[in-house]
Structure 1
Amino acid sequence: MPATVAPVTLCRIGEALDLLDIRYLADGYGSLLAMWERHAVLFALEGPEDEILVMRARPHSTVPPDWADRAYRVVNEWNLAGRFGKAYVGDPTERGQLPVYAEIQVPLRAGAHDALLVEMVDSGQTMSAAFVDWLHDEGALL
């Protein structure tokens, strides 16, 4: 039986997270938030028709403002070496610290079958964990 392609919804993203045994919370703003020891990943649908699957990771640790140049160099190094996704230094927090993000955006206006959605969610969470581990180890930023 062929896989059925269906629109990607927050409910289906939650089902994919459940299949992967990833615990998450609904944030009340139309996103799902999964948390690990070193980072959190936001799973959301964005775009004019909620057609873009966004998986945005943020390490819990932030960077002091006097390390800004180093943060940009480390993030650029990740972006040059990475296969997909992007990383960036965010705007300063209320305390003046710099958050660092990794993000994958996938346009899915045509929809996706369940197995593909699970694979994309799994890839997003795997990439986010690798990014955060790299920042703590080889990147020596956090």
Structure 2
Amino acid sequence: MAWWRWGHDNPHRDETESEGGLRVQLPRQRRGTGAVGPVTMERIGASLSRQEIRHLTDADGALLALWERHAVLFTLEGPDDEILVVRARAHATTPQEWSERAYAAANEWNHARRFMKAYVGDPTERGGLPFYAEMQVPFLAGAHDELIDELIDCAAAVAATYVDWLHSDAGVL
């Protein structure tokens, strides 16, 4: 049933009154049921486990999830480890001769999308240009598990979409 047809007894709706006396039903936002707490690497790892995303822990304590075409690093940075950083990297690289094409692809991604910003990294030891996508979210105030889960789920999906796009529409990998 469409949201505008829901009755007054629906627990997922909030009713508000406009200036003209007209009652409009607005969707009620889902709120986290868990307690808000500091975002830690343990909570990020637990979120990855809940979502059945297999991951490894590197020597610095960052978490790394690997897929067929890309890897995603999850870590905390900042003076108080309050910034969640999610950094995706495509396994494939593009030749340095394609640098203009690579930068144009990153710019196109950034122009057309809001989430996870793309960039071309420095040449690798083998001379290829790596592609990255990254997001950073400050969590000094903390978060509940549902928000962490939603962010990680979204970041993993967008990272996969980005790498698929690099291989198909962007034509750089």
TM-score range, shorter chain: over 0.9
The structure in which a higher percent of residues are strand is 2
State TM-score, norm by structure 2: 0.80
Q: Which amino acid aligns with 2:148?
A: L
- Find out whether 1:12 has 2:43 as its counterpart: yes
Aligned-residue Cα RMSD (Å) equals: 1.1
Match in the other structure for 1:30:
61
Deviation for aligned residue 1:83: 2.1
Larger Rg: 2
Residues 89-131 of structure 1: per-residue CA shift (max 9 Å, x gap)? 0011111211110001100010100000000111110110000
The CA distance in 2 between the partners of 1:104 and 1:123, in whole Å, is 11
**Counterpart residue identity of residue 44, structure 1:** T
Structure 1 segment 1-142 matched on structure 2, within 5 A: 2-142=33-173
Task: Give the letter aligned to residue 156 of structure 2.
Answer: Q
CA distance in 2, matches of 1:70, 1:140: 9
Bigger relative contact order, structure 1 or 2 (CA pairs below 8 A, ≥6 apart) = 1
Deviation at 1:2, TM superposition (A): 4.3
Normalized per residue, which structure has more helix? 1
Identity of aligned residues (%): 59
SS in structure 1 at match of 2:129: coil
- The count of residues paired between Structure 1 and Structure 2 equals 142
State the distance in 2 between where 1:85 and 1:95 align: 26
* TM-score of the aligned structures, taking structure 1 as reference length: 0.97
Alignment gaps of 5+ in structure 2: 1-31
